[in-house]
Amino acid sequence: MADPAAGSQPHAPGSPRVLVAGATGFAGALAAHLLYRHPRFELVGVTGRSEVGRTLEELYPRYRVPLQIGELDLARTGDLDAAVVAYPHAAAAPTVAALREHGARVVDLSADFRLAALPTYEHWYGQHPRPELLRDAVYGLTELHRDAIAAAAIVANPGCYPTASLLGLAPLARAGVIADVVIDAKQGISGAGRAFDDTTHLSMAGENILPYKVAQHRHTPEIEEQLARLNPALEGLAVQFQAHLVPLDQGELASIYVTPTRPVSQDELDELMQSAYAREPFVEVAAQPPGTREVQATNYCRIFAASDQHTGKLVVLSAIDNLWKGTSSQALQNLNVMFGLPETEGLS
Protein backbone atom coordinates (compact mmCIF):
# COMPACT_ATOMS: atom_id res chain seq x y z
CA MET A 1 0.00 0.00 0.00
CA ALA A 2 1.36 3.37 -0.96
CA ASP A 3 1.88 6.04 1.67
CA PRO A 4 -1.71 6.54 2.80
CA ALA A 5 -1.13 10.07 3.97
CA ALA A 6 0.23 11.33 0.65
CA GLY A 7 -1.60 14.46 -0.39
CA SER A 8 -3.50 14.90 2.85
CA GLN A 9 -3.90 18.32 4.38
CA PRO A 10 -1.51 19.31 7.19
CA HIS A 11 -2.81 18.78 10.70
CA ALA A 12 -1.61 19.78 14.12
CA PRO A 13 0.46 17.21 16.01
CA GLY A 14 -1.78 14.90 17.96
CA SER A 15 -4.70 15.09 15.54
CA PRO A 16 -6.73 11.85 15.72
CA ARG A 17 -5.66 9.50 12.91
CA VAL A 18 -8.63 8.01 11.04
CA LEU A 19 -8.99 5.38 8.32
CA VAL A 20 -12.00 4.70 6.08
CA ALA A 21 -12.47 1.02 5.26
CA GLY A 22 -14.73 0.52 2.27
CA ALA A 23 -14.09 3.92 0.73
CA THR A 24 -15.08 2.83 -2.78
CA GLY A 25 -18.81 2.79 -2.01
CA PHE A 26 -21.02 5.86 -1.87
CA ALA A 27 -21.03 6.11 1.92
CA GLY A 28 -17.34 5.42 2.39
CA ALA A 29 -16.30 7.87 -0.31
CA LEU A 30 -18.35 10.66 1.23
CA ALA A 31 -16.97 9.85 4.69
CA ALA A 32 -13.45 10.11 3.28
CA HIS A 33 -14.30 13.43 1.64
CA LEU A 34 -15.59 14.87 4.91
CA LEU A 35 -12.67 13.56 6.94
CA TYR A 36 -10.06 14.74 4.44
CA ARG A 37 -11.36 18.30 4.80
CA HIS A 38 -11.92 18.13 8.54
CA PRO A 39 -9.70 20.62 10.42
CA ARG A 40 -9.04 18.30 13.36
CA PHE A 41 -8.97 14.72 12.02
CA GLU A 42 -6.18 13.32 9.88
CA LEU A 43 -7.36 10.90 7.20
CA VAL A 44 -4.46 8.46 6.95
CA GLY A 45 -5.88 5.77 4.69
CA VAL A 46 -8.70 4.70 2.41
CA THR A 47 -9.20 1.03 1.64
CA GLY A 48 -11.43 -0.96 -0.64
CA ARG A 49 -12.10 -4.46 -1.82
CA SER A 50 -12.00 -3.17 -5.39
CA GLU A 51 -10.25 -0.36 -7.29
CA VAL A 52 -6.99 -1.02 -5.41
CA GLY A 53 -4.16 1.14 -6.70
CA ARG A 54 -6.36 3.97 -7.96
CA THR A 55 -6.75 7.22 -6.09
CA LEU A 56 -10.13 7.94 -4.59
CA GLU A 57 -10.43 11.12 -6.65
CA GLU A 58 -10.13 9.03 -9.83
CA LEU A 59 -13.19 7.09 -8.73
CA TYR A 60 -15.05 10.11 -7.30
CA PRO A 61 -13.57 13.25 -8.87
CA ARG A 62 -16.01 15.60 -7.12
CA TYR A 63 -14.67 14.60 -3.69
CA ARG A 64 -11.05 15.41 -4.59
CA VAL A 65 -9.43 13.02 -2.14
CA PRO A 66 -6.00 12.19 -3.64
CA LEU A 67 -5.24 9.21 -1.36
CA GLN A 68 -4.55 5.86 -2.99
CA ILE A 69 -7.01 3.06 -2.37
CA GLY A 70 -5.30 0.07 -0.79
CA GLU A 71 -6.21 -3.24 0.72
CA LEU A 72 -6.85 -3.17 4.45
CA ASP A 73 -3.59 -4.23 6.09
CA LEU A 74 -3.48 -3.18 9.71
CA ALA A 75 0.05 -4.49 10.13
CA ARG A 76 1.23 -1.74 7.77
CA THR A 77 -1.22 0.97 8.74
CA GLY A 78 0.51 2.22 11.87
CA ASP A 79 -1.27 3.73 14.83
CA LEU A 80 -4.95 4.50 14.40
CA ASP A 81 -7.25 6.39 16.68
CA ALA A 82 -10.46 5.66 14.79
CA ALA A 83 -11.95 4.12 11.68
CA VAL A 84 -15.14 4.36 9.69
CA VAL A 85 -16.19 0.96 8.34
CA ALA A 86 -18.41 1.13 5.25
CA TYR A 87 -18.89 -2.56 4.46
CA PRO A 88 -22.17 -4.46 4.04
CA HIS A 89 -23.63 -6.30 7.01
CA ALA A 90 -21.82 -9.52 7.99
CA ALA A 91 -18.69 -8.32 6.15
CA ALA A 92 -18.34 -5.38 8.53
CA ALA A 93 -18.21 -7.17 11.89
CA PRO A 94 -14.90 -9.05 11.37
CA THR A 95 -13.28 -5.80 10.21
CA VAL A 96 -14.64 -3.96 13.23
CA ALA A 97 -13.19 -6.69 15.45
CA ALA A 98 -9.76 -6.40 13.80
CA LEU A 99 -9.77 -2.63 14.17
CA ARG A 100 -10.70 -2.89 17.83
CA GLU A 101 -7.81 -5.30 18.39
CA HIS A 102 -5.61 -2.71 16.68
CA GLY A 103 -6.74 -0.14 19.26
CA ALA A 104 -9.02 1.95 17.05
CA ARG A 105 -12.46 3.19 17.99
CA VAL A 106 -14.95 2.44 15.24
CA VAL A 107 -17.99 3.98 13.62
CA ASP A 108 -19.65 1.18 11.68
CA LEU A 109 -22.04 2.07 8.85
CA SER A 110 -23.45 -1.43 8.46
CA ALA A 111 -26.33 -3.08 10.32
CA ASP A 112 -24.07 -5.41 12.27
CA PHE A 113 -24.24 -3.55 15.59
CA ARG A 114 -27.47 -1.55 15.32
CA LEU A 115 -29.64 -4.14 17.03
CA ALA A 116 -28.87 -4.85 20.67
CA ALA A 117 -30.93 -8.06 20.75
CA LEU A 118 -29.04 -10.92 19.08
CA PRO A 119 -32.21 -12.96 18.34
CA THR A 120 -33.67 -9.96 16.52
CA TYR A 121 -30.52 -9.58 14.42
CA GLU A 122 -30.48 -13.28 13.56
CA HIS A 123 -34.16 -13.21 12.57
CA TRP A 124 -33.62 -10.39 10.07
CA TYR A 125 -30.00 -10.88 8.96
CA GLY A 126 -28.89 -14.41 9.84
CA GLN A 127 -25.99 -15.53 12.01
CA HIS A 128 -23.97 -12.71 13.54
CA PRO A 129 -20.23 -12.95 12.75
CA ARG A 130 -19.04 -11.41 16.06
CA PRO A 131 -21.89 -11.39 18.59
CA GLU A 132 -19.52 -10.89 21.54
CA LEU A 133 -18.99 -7.29 20.37
CA LEU A 134 -22.66 -6.32 20.60
CA ARG A 135 -22.25 -5.36 24.26
CA ASP A 136 -19.60 -2.78 23.29
CA ALA A 137 -21.73 -1.05 20.66
CA VAL A 138 -23.75 2.14 21.10
CA TYR A 139 -26.53 3.10 18.71
CA GLY A 140 -25.24 6.15 16.89
CA LEU A 141 -28.22 8.44 16.50
CA THR A 142 -26.36 11.37 17.98
CA GLU A 143 -29.34 13.36 19.20
CA LEU A 144 -30.65 10.40 21.22
CA HIS A 145 -27.48 8.84 22.64
CA ARG A 146 -24.86 11.60 22.73
CA ASP A 147 -23.46 10.80 26.19
CA ALA A 148 -23.04 7.09 25.49
CA ILE A 149 -21.48 7.81 22.08
CA ALA A 150 -18.84 10.01 23.73
CA ALA A 151 -17.40 7.01 25.59
CA ALA A 152 -18.12 4.29 23.02
CA ALA A 153 -15.62 1.90 21.49
CA ILE A 154 -18.03 0.94 18.69
CA VAL A 155 -20.72 3.26 17.36
CA ALA A 156 -23.37 1.67 15.17
CA ASN A 157 -24.38 4.38 12.74
CA PRO A 158 -28.15 4.20 12.20
CA GLY A 159 -29.79 3.34 8.93
CA CYS A 160 -30.96 6.34 6.95
CA TYR A 161 -34.65 5.48 7.22
CA PRO A 162 -34.46 5.04 11.01
CA THR A 163 -32.59 8.33 11.32
CA ALA A 164 -35.41 10.31 9.68
CA SER A 165 -38.14 8.24 11.32
CA LEU A 166 -36.77 8.23 14.87
CA LEU A 167 -35.98 11.93 14.91
CA GLY A 168 -39.57 12.56 13.88
CA LEU A 169 -40.99 10.14 16.44
CA ALA A 170 -38.70 10.61 19.46
CA PRO A 171 -40.58 13.53 21.06
CA LEU A 172 -43.87 11.62 20.75
CA ALA A 173 -42.37 8.42 22.11
CA ARG A 174 -40.97 10.19 25.17
CA ALA A 175 -44.34 11.86 25.77
CA GLY A 176 -46.11 8.49 25.66
CA VAL A 177 -48.61 9.49 22.98
CA ILE A 178 -47.91 6.78 20.37
CA ALA A 179 -50.55 4.05 20.10
CA ASP A 180 -49.77 3.03 16.51
CA VAL A 181 -47.48 4.27 13.76
CA VAL A 182 -47.24 3.96 9.98
CA ILE A 183 -44.14 5.21 8.17
CA ASP A 184 -44.19 5.82 4.42
CA ALA A 185 -40.63 6.70 3.39
CA LYS A 186 -39.14 7.70 0.06
CA GLN A 187 -35.46 7.81 -0.87
CA GLY A 188 -33.23 8.72 -3.78
CA ILE A 189 -31.60 6.05 -5.92
CA SER A 190 -28.24 6.48 -4.17
CA GLY A 191 -29.80 4.53 -1.30
CA ALA A 192 -29.47 1.41 -3.43
CA GLY A 193 -25.68 1.79 -3.50
CA ARG A 194 -23.33 1.30 -6.45
CA ALA A 195 -24.62 -2.18 -7.33
CA PHE A 196 -27.96 -2.22 -9.15
CA ASP A 197 -30.30 -5.13 -9.68
CA ASP A 198 -33.43 -5.54 -11.78
CA THR A 199 -35.53 -3.48 -9.38
CA THR A 200 -33.13 -0.64 -8.66
CA HIS A 201 -31.47 -0.06 -12.03
CA LEU A 202 -31.45 3.63 -12.91
CA SER A 203 -33.56 3.02 -16.04
CA MET A 204 -36.29 1.58 -13.81
CA ALA A 205 -36.06 4.44 -11.32
CA GLY A 206 -36.53 7.29 -13.79
CA GLU A 207 -40.09 8.65 -14.00
CA ASN A 208 -41.14 5.99 -11.54
CA ILE A 209 -41.79 5.29 -7.86
CA LEU A 210 -40.71 1.83 -6.74
CA PRO A 211 -41.94 0.30 -3.48
CA TYR A 212 -39.52 -2.35 -2.26
CA LYS A 213 -39.14 -4.89 0.54
CA VAL A 214 -42.86 -4.76 1.19
CA ALA A 215 -43.70 -5.94 4.74
CA GLN A 216 -40.11 -7.11 5.24
CA HIS A 217 -37.80 -4.11 5.41
CA ARG A 218 -34.86 -4.70 7.77
CA HIS A 219 -34.99 -1.19 9.20
CA THR A 220 -38.32 -1.99 10.86
CA PRO A 221 -36.87 -3.77 13.94
CA GLU A 222 -34.29 -1.02 14.32
CA ILE A 223 -37.04 1.58 14.64
CA GLU A 224 -39.05 -0.62 16.99
CA GLU A 225 -36.11 -1.33 19.28
CA GLN A 226 -35.16 2.32 19.57
CA LEU A 227 -38.74 3.43 20.26
CA ALA A 228 -38.88 0.92 23.11
CA ARG A 229 -35.64 2.35 24.49
CA LEU A 230 -37.15 5.82 24.46
CA ASN A 231 -40.27 4.57 26.24
CA PRO A 232 -40.52 1.03 27.66
CA ALA A 233 -44.30 1.20 27.23
CA LEU A 234 -43.66 0.89 23.48
CA GLU A 235 -42.04 -2.54 23.87
CA GLY A 236 -43.86 -4.82 21.45
CA LEU A 237 -45.22 -2.01 19.28
CA ALA A 238 -45.34 -3.21 15.68
CA VAL A 239 -44.29 -0.44 13.29
CA GLN A 240 -45.72 -0.49 9.78
CA PHE A 241 -42.84 0.67 7.59
CA GLN A 242 -42.74 0.94 3.80
CA ALA A 243 -39.82 2.17 1.68
CA HIS A 244 -39.86 3.55 -1.86
CA LEU A 245 -37.19 4.56 -4.35
CA VAL A 246 -37.91 7.81 -6.18
CA PRO A 247 -36.11 9.44 -9.13
CA LEU A 248 -33.69 11.57 -7.11
CA ASP A 249 -29.93 11.31 -6.79
CA GLN A 250 -30.06 11.64 -3.03
CA GLY A 251 -32.53 12.75 -0.40
CA GLU A 252 -35.15 11.17 1.83
CA LEU A 253 -38.56 12.05 3.20
CA ALA A 254 -40.34 10.02 5.89
CA SER A 255 -44.09 10.65 6.09
CA ILE A 256 -45.15 9.37 9.52
CA TYR A 257 -48.75 8.81 10.61
CA VAL A 258 -49.30 8.34 14.35
CA THR A 259 -52.48 7.22 16.06
CA PRO A 260 -52.13 8.91 19.46
CA THR A 261 -53.05 7.42 22.81
CA ARG A 262 -55.10 10.56 23.51
CA PRO A 263 -56.02 13.76 21.69
CA VAL A 264 -52.99 15.97 21.00
CA SER A 265 -53.59 19.59 20.01
CA GLN A 266 -51.43 21.48 17.55
CA ASP A 267 -50.11 23.67 20.36
CA GLU A 268 -49.03 20.64 22.40
CA LEU A 269 -47.47 19.00 19.35
CA ASP A 270 -45.52 22.16 18.54
CA GLU A 271 -44.28 22.35 22.12
CA LEU A 272 -43.14 18.71 22.10
CA MET A 273 -41.11 19.25 18.93
CA GLN A 274 -39.67 22.62 19.89
CA SER A 275 -38.64 21.57 23.39
CA ALA A 276 -37.01 18.39 22.08
CA TYR A 277 -34.88 20.10 19.45
CA ALA A 278 -34.39 23.72 20.52
CA ARG A 279 -30.72 23.07 21.36
CA GLU A 280 -29.93 20.54 18.65
CA PRO A 281 -27.56 22.00 16.05
CA PHE A 282 -28.71 19.74 13.21
CA VAL A 283 -32.45 19.31 13.76
CA GLU A 284 -34.74 22.07 12.54
CA VAL A 285 -38.43 22.21 13.37
CA ALA A 286 -39.96 23.76 10.27
CA ALA A 287 -43.05 25.94 9.98
CA GLN A 288 -43.86 24.41 6.58
CA PRO A 289 -43.62 20.84 5.23
CA PRO A 290 -39.99 20.26 4.20
CA GLY A 291 -38.66 19.08 0.87
CA THR A 292 -35.49 17.09 0.30
CA ARG A 293 -33.77 19.95 -1.52
CA GLU A 294 -33.73 21.93 1.74
CA VAL A 295 -31.36 19.43 3.33
CA GLN A 296 -29.39 18.21 0.32
CA ALA A 297 -25.67 17.75 1.02
CA THR A 298 -26.08 18.78 4.67
CA ASN A 299 -26.21 17.10 8.07
CA TYR A 300 -29.59 18.65 8.83
CA CYS A 301 -32.92 17.00 9.52
CA ARG A 302 -36.00 19.19 8.98
CA ILE A 303 -39.19 18.16 10.76
CA PHE A 304 -42.75 19.39 10.39
CA ALA A 305 -45.62 18.09 12.53
CA ALA A 306 -49.37 18.59 12.25
CA SER A 307 -52.32 17.48 14.36
CA ASP A 308 -55.10 16.38 12.01
CA GLN A 309 -58.30 17.42 13.74
CA HIS A 310 -60.39 15.53 11.18
CA THR A 311 -58.87 12.08 11.79
CA GLY A 312 -57.32 12.64 15.21
CA LYS A 313 -53.97 11.42 13.89
CA LEU A 314 -50.59 13.15 14.07
CA VAL A 315 -48.66 13.69 10.83
CA VAL A 316 -44.88 14.10 11.05
CA LEU A 317 -42.71 14.82 7.99
CA SER A 318 -38.97 14.33 8.36
CA ALA A 319 -36.48 15.19 5.60
CA ILE A 320 -32.77 14.32 5.45
CA ASP A 321 -30.09 13.65 2.88
CA ASN A 322 -29.76 9.87 2.97
CA LEU A 323 -26.02 9.94 2.22
CA TRP A 324 -25.25 12.77 4.66
CA LYS A 325 -27.31 12.85 7.86
CA GLY A 326 -28.57 9.39 6.95
CA THR A 327 -25.05 7.96 6.73
CA SER A 328 -21.68 9.66 6.34
CA SER A 329 -22.02 13.11 7.87
CA GLN A 330 -23.74 11.56 10.87
CA ALA A 331 -20.69 9.30 11.18
CA LEU A 332 -18.53 12.42 11.35
CA GLN A 333 -20.91 14.01 13.85
CA ASN A 334 -20.41 10.91 16.00
CA LEU A 335 -16.64 11.03 15.60
CA ASN A 336 -16.67 14.65 16.77
CA VAL A 337 -18.56 13.58 19.90
CA MET A 338 -16.28 10.59 20.49
CA PHE A 339 -13.16 12.75 20.46
CA GLY A 340 -14.54 15.67 22.43
CA LEU A 341 -14.61 18.05 19.48
CA PRO A 342 -17.34 20.60 18.74
CA GLU A 343 -20.18 18.59 17.28
CA THR A 344 -20.52 20.87 14.27
CA GLU A 345 -16.80 20.77 13.40
CA GLY A 346 -16.37 20.07 9.69
CA LEU A 347 -20.12 19.95 9.13
CA SER A 348 -21.38 23.54 9.26
Is the distance from CB of 93 to CB of 130 less than 8 angstroms?
yes
Is the distance from CB of 229 to CB of 284 less than 8 angstroms?
no
Collect all residues with Cβ–Cβ distance below 8 Å to 316 and sequence separation of at least 6.
Answer: 168, 169, 172, 254, 255, 256, 258, 303, 304, 305, 306
Q: How far apart are CA 20 and CA 31, in angstroms?
A: 7
As annotated, the active-site residues are 160
